[in-house]
Amino acid sequence: MKPIVAIIGRPNVGKSTLFNRITRTRDALVDNFPGVTRDRHYGTALWNDVAFSVIDTGGFCTGDADVFSSLSRDQVRQAVKDATAVVLLLDGKGGVSPFDTELVEIAREQSIPVFYAVNKIDGYEKEDNVNDFYRLGIDTLFPISAEHGYGVPDFLDALVRVLPASDPEEETDTVKIAIIGRPNVGKSSLTNRILGENRVLVSDIPGTTRDAIDTACEIDGRKYLLIDTAGIRRKKQVFEKLEKISILKALKSIDRCDIALIIIDAAEGITDQDVKIAGYAYERGCGCIFLLNKWDLVEKDDHTLKRFTEKLRMAAKFMGYAPVFPISALTGKRVPKIFSMVDKVYAQYTSRVATGPLNKIFERAILKTEPSLHQGRRLKFFYATQISTKPPTFICFVNFPDGIHFSYHRYLINQIRLETGLDQTQVRLYFRKRKESTDRVFWKKKPAHNPRKKRRI
């Protein structure tokens, strides 16, 4: 396991900028106003051949400046509790703050190494700004500039010297699961319910989650990576720059996930935006499961789920293969069963069909239903093979790819599903042109008998 370094500090001191600098990414949201970061955000770093994890936290301040202040403080305390070392970041431009005094006291209560770094020291000529912080009773201060990198190498040299050696990590098949949906449908509540802790902030205010929060977990011996994302609203309803970035990060999370859990507010019903979000997941080719959250608030009879499912299938016809599962993140009802469904979808999502059996499937399908003519010429199918997984993707070589009607394309995909059992994952089928040759073809029209033609003796 890698050692963990938590970065704490009051709002707007540059914690996210330092996080991005250390991890050499742009994963953490950065803006000029305080309170951008709310949840704990994990990343990985490597310095002097020492690998460690980094936690970016929300700004720590006393009082209730806003509804998220107390929640952010809890996240900071939890980060410090989980850490191997703590970095307390101070503001070299703003000077000493009463919040810094309280943070220093919290840091001193810990039995782990604490590093005090004064940020926004952009050069040697500004290092005099550090002197004011010695009145906090700190022996060693590191002047740095998270934005420009000044002093960061020396600071990291000192940091990694106190970190314990990490155990070599075993290569595991971790399933990446993105939890996506509209704002306020229960994505963060579901994440916390699965993890059994208040890992991410939850409130009734839409837009509480701003970042894509990764959390590793292990359930029944299998490892998963949960990615809680910001709510995706319609473009015309998004005006703030920060929300636009949050949505882009949510869409990026769909790109890197294996399975997307598409959360729908069952109490509110299916909306056009739910279908739009499902379309994003479909275009990116990830495995998908529809979760009907807040099912405990729906008035039910024996056919409620069936009617809801049929309505969803009609609205999102392109994703008729995705399972539909009702849950309640608030009460936890059916939540543990999500992962058995995830495993089933993931098994299909990563499955591979051998070339021989695949060609037999195509041969039977084509003999069963002949393709239509293309400009008066017969279509010839030469051979097919699977070219990739995630999702299962096949390519078939034919003489006229443009002559295959979309309905026949869909028919062949359905035949693949029927004979391989790939009924809960997207299946992609592409056609490529190949010139006629002496190769065997799946299907060839036999010449019709002409009674007028006499046999030659």
* pLDDT above 90 coverage of the chain, percent: 44
Give pLDDT, residue 28. 64
pLDDT above 90 (res 105) = no
237 phi-psi bin (left φ>0, alpha ψ -120 to 50, beta other): alpha
Cα–Cα nearest to 242, from 29, 11, 20: 29
Write down the pTM of the prediction: 0.71
Distance of CA 20 to the CA centre of its chain: 19
Distance CA 422, CA 322 (A): 11
User: What sign for the dihedral angle of Cα 400, 403, 406, 407?
Assistant: negative
Reply yes or no: is the peptide bond before residue 392 cis, omega within 30 of 0.
Answer: no
**Cβ of 204: how many Cβ atoms within 10 Å?**
7
pLDDT above 60 (res 456) = no
pLDDT above 60 (res 63) = no
pLDDT above 50 (res 134) = yes
Of all helices (H) and strands (E), which one includes residue 100?
A: helix 98-108
Domain extent listing, the chain: 4-161, 175-349, 355-433
In 266-402, which ranges are E strands? 287-293, 324-326, 381-388, 393-398
What is 175-349's CATH number, 3.30.230.10, 3.90.1150.10, 3.90.550.10, 3.40.50.300? 3.40.50.300
Token pair listed for 443: 């299907």
Matching fold, domains 4-161 and 175-349? yes
User: Minimum mean pLDDT among 244-258, 285-299, 436-450: which range?
Assistant: 436-450
Residue 378 DSSP one-character state: -
pLDDT band at 69 (very low <50, low <70, confident <90, very high): low
Sheet holding 259-265, edge to edge: 213-219, 222-228, 175-181, 259-265, 287-293, 324-326
Q: Which fold has domain 355-433?
A: GMP Synthetase; Chain A, domain 3 (3.30.300)
Instruction: Please report, for residues 149, 205, 373, 400, the alpha-carbon distance to residue 397 in angstroms, rounded to integers and kept in the order given.
Output: 54, 53, 17, 9
Q: What is the CATH number of domain 4-161?
A: 3.40.50.300
**Per-residue pLDDT tens digits for 244-276:** 666 777 788 888 899 999 999 999 999 999 999
Do the beta carbons of residue 299 and residue 314 sit within 8 Å?
no
Distance of CA 227 to the CA centre of its chain: 5
Average confidence (pLDDT) over 341-357: 95
